[in-house]
Amino acid sequence: MDDFMKGAFDTLVKRGVITSDKLEPSTVTDDMIHQLEQEMNITIPMELQSYLKAYSHSLNILGTPLPLEYLDDPDIMILINEKTPEELAALDKDDGPFIEVIWSEVLAIPKENPLQPLREKIKNSRKVASFVKDDEVTEASLQRFIPIADWFCAGPLCIDTARTKEALDYEDMDTWQLRWFDHEEMDWKFMKYIKEDGTVIGQPLFPDFETFIKLYFYGVCDQLFERQLIMEKEELPDKTTWSK
């Protein structure tokens, strides 16, 4: 997993989204992570630990091509996780989903006090409980969610630590680990962010953190997007504009 996460940042450079001078060796240690786990009363999954220890960086927002209208299609998620970018681009045009560039804030890892951005995200995500209309939503009920991004710049995208990698089934969205909460919606029962028994579940958005990384860092849909643009006789993208 460490190699996967380091490779993700290296691929951002190879894709031309960022330059190598944006990355420095991470200053995050295992002791820092353990201290944050105790402070926040959480267990940080290994894949997120690997992200934290990959590089120091000040990345704020990334854009990437993805099938926005098909994120709730398990078959598309299976393709994204099992096919190479070349294989995705070679799909029959009727089998490939429509692709568009979608933005997401990502978790910065500064050199000084590197876990402070994550700490603040966790604290702020729990404070949301006081604004939600539903009494079932408390800070304790949100404790198992670790925010790793502000997806679409419209709400926190969180790892649900109650859902394990071992139980993940791409075809069963109930097992998906990444959950999203629209920050403009405070009626969570109406949004179906809460089960009938009062358990907070959010909206399943991606199967796992690795899927998010494959899309936003590895750019698995880049070639499929470029093929689509060529077919539509549009200009190819300037990928340097995909980071802010």
Are the CB atoms for 32 and 53 separated by under 8 Å? no
Q: Who contacts 233 (Cβ-Cβ below 8 Å, separation ≥6)?
A: none
Q: Who contacts 38 (Cβ-Cβ below 8 Å, separation ≥6)?
A: none
The most distant pair of C-alpha atoms in the chain lies apart, rounded to whole Å, by 54
Domain ranges of the chain: 2-242
pTM over 0.75: yes
Dist. CA 87–CA 91, nearest whole Å = 7
pLDDT, tens only, 194-237: 999 999 999 999 999 999 999 999 999 999 999 999 999 999 99
DSSP-derived letter for residue 243 is B
The residue among 202, 176, 177 whose CA lies nearest residue 189 is 202
| Percent of the residues in the chain that have a pLDDT greater than 70, as a whole number | 100
Are the CB atoms for 114 and 26 separated by under 8 Å? yes
The residue with tokens 């880049």 is 222
pLDDT, tens only, 155-168: 999 999 999 999 99
Pairing of the two strands 55-56 and 145-151? unpaired
The residue among 91, 55, 63 whose CA lies nearest residue 76 is 91
Q: What is the mean pLDDT of residues 25-48?
A: 98
| Dihedral (Cα; 56, 60, 65, 69), 10-degree rounding | 120
Q: Quick check: 50 pLDDT over 90?
A: yes
CATH topology for 2-242 is: SMI1/KNR4-like (3.40.1580)
